[in-house]
Amino acid sequence: MKKLLFTFLAFATVQIAISQARVNVIHNSADAAAAVVDVYLDDALAVDDFAFRTETGYIDFPADVEVIIGIAPSNSTGSGDAIATFPVTLADGETYVVIATGIVSATGYDPAPAFGLAVYDMGREVATDGANTDVLVYHGSTDAPAVDVLETGVGAGYLVENISYSEYAGYLELPTADYVLQVNAAGGSGVAAYGAPLATLGLNGAALVVVASGFLDPSNNSNGPAFGLWVSTGAAGGLVELPSAPLGINDFNTNTIALYPNPATDIINIASEDGEAYTIKVIDMQGRALMVDGAAFERGYLNISSLATGIYNIVVMDNNKILGSKKFIKN
């Protein structure tokens, strides 16, 4: 990627960069045939030898004019060698995250969604609040099912629900803390868990992209790279791998927890079929714990009159273990 800044800047100059967008391109195609590629903008070589699980970092990109992005083998001699081309027109002053994803090869991968560029047009280079870390989530694992992301470290509950391959979940504006992210099959049990030490790494004020990357079953995908969560920091270079963490409890069925009425205004009734007196936390959509109540199940209700109108998670806990989470709406 040593030519990256020079070639992008040169191209922008040629376009007389009156209009510019900011773009971060992330290489997340786990196909061996696309492990290292060259990237062209029209006929100009923009990124030489762009490797899997690396990013360009945010750079200026011509806006308000159509540009043909070409993806070619790493030994290419010109834009005519491109194996895939994508016409794009970006808006002046906007910030984009662009993720290369999918499969190039005709055989050896199952499933094999077509190679493409996943564009997110509301990117952020910094957090909207300096005390937070903003996290954009992207599902880029071609053979993984739709998943939920459950936070089990500080009790933030479900951060993302039912996100499928090629989808962005949008930015989470999280208080900067050390989290544990458990990836569950949507509505089911845990697949894997990862540490996300945002506070330890001093990432307050940062805007990150967390990418599900690689294969759940490498043996069915040409023994390619294994599934994991990788982080784009917005700076040129390699993505950062999140470390593995122990899975939480998987055998708890949140359908045994009754919440009613839902939506609710002041009081929400709560009960468990097994009669256990679990502790509950009320978490907002930014992952902040607003209430902790160890007696709600014994009492049979929770007073939510102090909460603002919105959507919340009730996180069910046994001591310090998160068992599950259910959403409710406060009118």
DSSP 103-170: B--SSS-SS-PBPEEEEESS--SB-SSTTEEEEEEEE--TT---EEEEE-SS--EEEEEEEPTT-EEE
Which is more confidently placed, 5 or 157? 157
> Pick from 116, 107, 53, 111: which is nearest to 83 by CA?
116
Percent of the chain at pLDDT above 70?
90
Cα–Cα distance, 118 to 121 (Å, whole number) = 10
Pick the CATH number of 1-123 from 1.10.540, 2.30.130, 2.60.40, 2.160.20: 2.60.40
For residue 254, the model assigns a pLDDT of 63
Lowest mean pLDDT among 95-104, 143-152, 284-293: 284-293
Cα–Cα distance, 246 to 26 (Å, whole number) = 28
Backbone angles phi, psi at 63, to 5 degrees: -120, 165
CATH 2.60.40.3080 at 254-330, yes or no: yes
Given a contact cutoff of 8 angstroms between Cβ atoms, the answer to whether 43 and 78 are in contact is: yes
Q: Averaged over 84-107, what is the pLDDT? A: 97
For residue 209, the model assigns a pLDDT of 98
The DSSP output letter for 11 is: H
Q: Averaged over 221-242, what is the pLDDT? A: 96
For residue 154, the model assigns a pLDDT of 82
Mean of pLDDT over the chain: 89
Backbone angles phi, psi at 77, to 5 degrees: -115, -5
Is there a common fold for 1-123 and 254-330?
Answer: yes
For residue 117, the model assigns a pLDDT of 97
For residue 287, CA distances in Å to 158, 174, 196 come to: 8, 6, 14
Which is more confidently placed, 323 or 230? 230
* Domain residue spans of the chain: 1-123, 124-250, 254-330
Cα–Cα distance, 159 to 177 (Å, whole number) = 14
Asked whether the whole model's pTM tops 0.85, one would answer no
11 pLDDT above the threshold of 60: no
For residue 183, the model assigns a pLDDT of 93
For residue 5, the model assigns a pLDDT of 44
For residue 202, the model assigns a pLDDT of 93
Q: What Rg value do the Cα atoms of the chain yield, rounded?
A: 22
pLDDT tens-place string over residues 169-226: 999 999 999 999 999 888 777 789 999 999 989 999 999 999 999 999 999 999 999 9
- Structure tokens belonging to residue 273: 């079929």
Cα–Cα distance, 44 to 48 (Å, whole number) = 11
49 pLDDT above the threshold of 80: yes
Which is more confidently placed, 255 or 147? 147
Handedness of CA 257, 258, 264, 265 (dihedral sign): negative
Given a contact cutoff of 8 angstroms between Cβ atoms, the answer to whether 98 and 45 are in contact is: no
322 pLDDT above the threshold of 70: no
30 pLDDT band, cuts 50/70/90, is: very high
251 pLDDT above the threshold of 50: no
Q: Any bridge partners for residue 24, and if so which? A: 97
For residue 321, the model assigns a pLDDT of 64
